[in-house]
Amino acid sequence: MKKCYKDIQEFIAALDAAGELTRHTEKVSPEIEISKITDEESKKPDGGKALLFENVWDGEKQSFPVATNLFGSSKRMAMALGLKSLDEAGAEIEELVNTTPPRSMHDFFELAKKALPLTRIMPKRAKGSAPCQEVVKQGKDIDLSEIPVLKCWPHDGGRFVTLPLVFTKSADGKKRNVGMYRLQIFDRSTTGMHWHVHKDGSHFFREYSDLKMRMPVAVAIGADPATVYAATAPMPRGIDEMILAGFFRKKGVPMAKCVTQDLEVPADAEFVLEGYVDYDERRLEGPFGDHTGYYSLADMYPVFHLTAITHKKKPVYCATLVGPPPMEDCYLAKATERIFLPLLKSVMPEIQDYFLPWEGVFHNIVIVSIEKEYPAHAQKLISGLWGQGQMSFCKCIVVVDRDISPSDLPRIWKLFVEQFDPAEDIFFSHGVLDVLDHSAPKAFMGSKIGIDLTRRVKGEGIRKAKAPQSLSLENVSRIEKFMHESFGDSFIGLNPENKFCAMLVRKDGKSGAEILKTLEESGLFDRSFRAVGIFDEGVDISNYSKVLWKIFNNVDPSRDIRKSPGGVCFIDACKKGILDGHHREWPDDLSFDK
């Protein structure tokens, strides 16, 4: 397996040789059309194929080729990092984490064999002219419309650069950050700079703002695949992402000095946008079809002013499409899950494994298996995880025993059905949430839920809730009759399978809390179900992946989950409004049909 790709075009050639690439030669437009083809491909089994659009026409002019879905499968993601599998990266990192201090000369030399290659993975200045600067445009020659930037979804606020590597440095010049922050094209020479408040780029921007200084920025598009991944990785603040890229490449990334800014970028990038952000300028950015499967709402963000565009003579524009899972970003997230497991275990050694279901869009749910040792160990672990880096954004944490695979969702559900006691196995908390979470009453923060599915140990007592009984057709008829009598035409239908009763309703002047209370007080669900959920009309409640996606994205746990004495969890997974105490704008689902 190749350990290092010179640039993204070499990676594309390798995908082609491996049968992992589809070349599109027919005429296509970067306005929606490429996105629709990419969305359809990414939904195929195992992520479909990478796509190279070779005949891109932007209006009346032919533009550069466009590549999408390059990282959209486990195989392609492993290839990008030069690995046989993503677990291989975790094992390599675990070996370094577990390295002990040398106790003898023999130990010292053995350690040196492992450590010396680290000196070769640091980024280095490229020799000679940089390929990313074969074409240089400045001043009036700058024109972002020459790049086939995609408009991804119908109601996007414009075209967005979706796979950018944004290079910044601290105000004192001592630290570098590389992050992936989308750029909305405003005009020929300006874009939005979508720095989330929790990200390192935003942290550096606050440093410049406090000093009332202009901030230099450089954006690389289409770097080598390991560097692209590194820009997405949740590295600790102050750690250079280019070192992680070098770790996977097994040698440092060649860097080139920018033409107009005091920054360095990957010398083999396809495009580079150079410029600055003023500390006191904001412009309305968005909406944008985001990885949550919803439009992130328009808001005020800093403005990126270009001072130069440089690129190869024959570049390929690289983009990603995000939206309802599964999509390409799911596989990038899976790589992070596997790669960072050893680092998480080094802080919390009781952790055996963890799994982030795609339906939770990376930050809304994690299932963790642990070596349980004492009472309330699961609760202790959950609280600890809520204090760990980007895990702090997680809205729901489920803990199981070490002999349970966190990715075995049917078995997890069986545990939930057979031995879960809502009265004792749930606890709520409150804390920071991802910027894109739309379910909480307030932005950036909301409630969280921890669920303990581990076996009881001495000192914890026994669970009192009983497992649901089998469901008869008579029970279903009784429930349907009750729903029609209570809600009339507002009740649309139900799916009562697998001890979970999913129901389609229209709220029609009622709050979710009122509806859940009515369902609980009926007593009709206690014997046959472990959970009951209400969903908006149009949701396919026969598709459990869609059902989970709605629950994890639309629920603020302390407001939208009701525990009954009978051992049933009632869940409002519908849209929220003023009657629900939700005064924020609720975003629309993403669809090419709307």
Q: Which residues contact 94 (CB under 8 A, 6 or more apart)?
A: 341, 342, 345
| Secondary structure letter of residue 440 according to DSSP | S
For 274, the token pair is: 């150079």
For residue 385, the surrounding DSSP H or E stretch is: helix 377-385
Active site residue 299: no
Give backbone dihedrals phi and psi of 374, rounded to 5 degrees, phi first.
-160, 165
Q: Provide the residue type at 399 as one letter.
A: V
Residue corresponding to tokens 């994890």: 552
DSSP 22-33: EEE-S-B-TBTH
Cα first-last separation, the chain: 44
Region of 361 please: left (phi>0), alpha (psi -120 to 50) or beta. Answer: left
CA atoms within 13 A on the CB side of 561: 27
Question: In terms of Cα–Cα distance, which of 299, 290, 291, 294 is closest to 192?
Answer: 299
Q: Which of 290, 434, 452, 589 is catalytic?
A: 290
Residue 168 to residue 276: CA distance in whole angstroms: 10
CA distance 526 to 564: 8
Sheet of 264-266: strand order equals 124-125, 254-257, 264-266
Radius of gyration of the chain (CA): 25
- Amino acid code (one letter) for 456: R
Contacts of 212 (CB under 8 A, 6+ apart): 279, 280
What tokens appear for 387 in the block? 């204090």
For residues 151 and 203, the answer to whether their CB atoms sit within 8 Å is no
Closest C-alpha to 585, from 441, 401, 374: 441
Q: Which of 293, 361, 304 is nearest to 333 (CA)?
A: 361
**For residue 134, what are the contacts with CB-CB under 8 A and spacing of at least 6?**
310, 311, 312, 313
Q: Which of 239, 200, 201, 195 is nearest to 343 (CA)?
A: 239
Backbone angles phi, psi at 440, to 5 degrees: -75, 150
Active site residues: 290
